[in-house]
Amino acid sequence: MRKLFGRLYYIVKKNMGSLLVFEIMYRTATFLLSGYCVQTAIDFSLKKQGFSYLTAENYTSFILHPLSVALVLAVFLQILFFLLIEAGALITCFEASANRQKVTPGDLLFGGLYRTFIMIRKNKTAWILAAALPAPIMELHLIVREVSYIKLLQFSAQQLYKAVPWHWVLFAICGLLLAFSLLFIYILPSCFMTGGKIGKRVPEALKIFRKNTGKTVVGIAVINVLVALIVGTVYLIAVIFVVLYSMLTKSTAMAAGAVLTYSRWLDIGLGLAAGAVELVLTLAFVFVIYEKAYPDSVSNWKKRILFPRHTAKGLRLRRKIAGVLTAILLVSEGFYGVYVMIQSRQAAENIWNSVGITAHRGGALMAPENTVSALAYANDTLCDYAEIDVQETKDRVLVLLHDNSLKRTAGLKENIWNVTYAQVNKLDAGISFHKKFRGEKIPTLEDAINFSKGKLDLNIEIKYNGENKGIAKRVVREIEKNDFADHCVITSMNYDFLKQVKKANPDIRTGYIMTMTYGSIANVKYADFFSVKHTYVDEDFVAEAHACGKEVHAWTVNYRGDVKRMINCGVDNIITDNPVLVRKVLDQESDTRTGFWELMKYALRI
């Protein structure tokens, strides 16, 4: 193993400069292009399906639509095509290094394109298998990072995780997928270095794996650990630099916001760097083993690649042209990156303004949720709103309750639509909280309104459970009966409820609750504002909502770093279990420390 890694070190180091420039250029360009194509594909599919916005509620029907499936496959093919070009470029680099030759970034790009063209011409559609089979094991770090960072992928993974009750099955499938991918890890060097048909190369790749199973497994494991250490170390150093830069150039109030903004870009860079380093080292490792098994195919590299029919003068000219184009591309990418970061920074610096505070579930941190005591806590902590959840009993009495079942909060294993108000009124809502709240009643909506009059505005969330289709109109009547329309808003995840509210009383403000966000919100006309899970809120969404004349409320924000990020995004209201913390951050009190270690926690999300 020592000799293998020594050889790997040599072939990477020999053309390290060109390899580094090529990877930065290529990864950045393909990342931007892929991102644009994905966004365009989603927007196109949304439009064709008649959706103005992608939410958790319409996600399943959207993603399973034939058009969406076709576009997903098209994007997948595009990514595989980009991977094939990159792999061809890297093999070109390693072959040159193995023959003690220097190459330029332009040579690598040409080599990748040329080899990909030859492979597709000879193999028609079979090239898809050559790229797809080893991709999971070669791009493991990139896949993990992008799934955890890209919101749509993250949400898709969460939905899949929820859909499968036996989570071990998912982990087992992932393990089997990686093991299967490992079997074909030699297929790309075999195809590129022989130029033959993939059908003949698969047995050769499997033969190499069988003869070097132990070395391959250990080597890939070592490489993955090494990549994690390298990328993690670089990321930590970059975070420290960002924190120190923010402390030196920003005010105390703005330092945390700057760190959170810049760390977002570091996250993107981390994913790209992890994918690049892993692919380079993995391909270099399998190249070294392939070289040992078939030394003749490496020694004949000049007959297959790098301008075989051109003179030395023509080669120099082509290299100069490739160098100029590479430089232009790098400078363009650099300016674009700086522009985006400046825009993000300026947005963060201009929106540290007054933000409303809403106590989640009435004020569930210090009192039982959805109770009068919780509303009293929200009032005592000077909240602008208290958010309450409304459902109705079997006899159509509106009560405050979050879950469908009374089990968690009141100890009764019954759904709310199966019990009468008389039964609900006998329950103890303080049973699962501190003993001083024993005997706390589950209040009606009227109780909550009567307590809040003159003290507190209410964010009334109407819960949809499939048994309460007429609840929206009854909530409106209750509000009108108590003359409370000017002191409340009505929110719901069920857009039809908001439509019913607006038709019953257009003056009551409504908010559409979304667990994820994507698409155009211009046509969401029955919502005056959007109540969005904070992990899916960013500057672009807030800017679009504001351009439509609508506010953005973020939920449920309980961590100081997330509070500051929401402020920097420009949200209008923060829904939280800890209104005292949010108030301290907003007031920039001394308790919101922004020293070095505190800023490091913000950047690292700990």
Helix (H) or strand (E) holding 406: strand 405-406
Q: What is the DSSP string of 379-401?
A: HHTT-SEEEEEEEE-TT--EEE-
Helix (H) or strand (E) holding 359: strand 356-359
Encoded amino acid at 33, one letter:
L
Please state the separation of Cα 463 from the chain's center in Å.
Answer: 27
Structure tokens at 595: 């020293």
Contacts of 273 (CB under 8 A, 6+ apart): 231, 234
Point out the catalytic residue in the list 65, 167, 310, 402: 402
Residue written as token pair 């459902």: 391
CA 187 – CA 204 distance, rounded (Å):
8
CA 548 – CA 558 distance, rounded (Å):
28
Contacts of 221 (CB under 8 A, 6+ apart): none
Helix (H) or strand (E) holding 551: strand 551-555
CA 514 – CA 71 distance, rounded (Å):
24
Point out the catalytic residue in the list 65, 167, 360, 534: 360
Structure tokens at 91: 């093999």
* In 184-251, alpha helices (H): 187-194, 198-211, 213-249
Tell me if 578 sits within 8 A of 558, measured CB to CB.
yes
Tell me if 571 sits within 8 A of 553, measured CB to CB.
yes
CA 134 – CA 156 distance, rounded (Å):
23
360 is catalytic: yes
Dihedral sign for Cα atoms in the order 378, 380, 383, 385: positive
DSSP class of residue 351 equals -
Of how many residues is the chain composed? 606
The residues carrying an active-site annotation are 360, 402
